Amino acid sequence: MQTKVRNLIMVGDRVLIKPSSAPNKTKSGLYLPPGVQEKEKIQSGTIVAVGPGYPIPSDGIDDEWKSQEERLTYMPLQAQEGDTALFVLSEAYEIMYRDEKYYVVAQDDILMLERDNEFFE
């Protein structure tokens, strides 16, 4: 999954989410028609790419001798690659990249994160 989106660079506080596969039947055993899960207001998925974060304003002193990269700082996002996220679907942008569906979501529109610490070890 990571290799497919390696060339994508997220901007600002945006994250790229691969939606989780929807169950095709209910707990009682009824089969659901295609597209039912996509109409839910809250969706879940795995975060596959994360932007640098919120830009922090400079202190007002522009030192010409510093490179542009040194002057630009960000407050990192709470979301990390590999987290499972619950997000508001109406605030997400659906994109297709290499025949896969992804959502671009601002961190403000993520309701909850689940982090598997073993993913990072």
Every domain of the chain and the residues it spans: 2-21+35-120
92 near 8, Cβ under 8 Å? no
Would you write out the chain's pLDDT as a tens digit for each of its 121 residues? 455 777 889 999 999 999 987 666 677 777 666 666 666 788 899 999 999 999 887 665 666 666 555 567 889 999 999 999 999 999 999 999 999 999 999 999 999 999 977 655 6
Torsion of CA 53, 108, 86, 93, to 10 degrees: -80
Q: How far apart, in whole angstroms, are the C-alpha atoms of residue 114 and residue 32?
A: 26
Residue 49: closest CA among 13, 100, 92: 13
pLDDT of residue 29: 73
Contacts of 38 (CB under 8 A, 6+ apart): 22
pLDDT of residue 1: 46
Please tell me the CATH code under which domain 2-21+35-120 is placed: 2.30.33.40
3-state secondary structure of 102: strand
Residue type for 24, please?
N
100 near 14, Cβ under 8 Å? no
Q: What is the b/e burial string over 12-23, where b = at least 16 CB atoms within 10 angstroms of the residue's CB?
A: ebbbbbbbeeee
pTM attached to this predicted model: 0.75
13 near 106, Cβ under 8 Å? yes
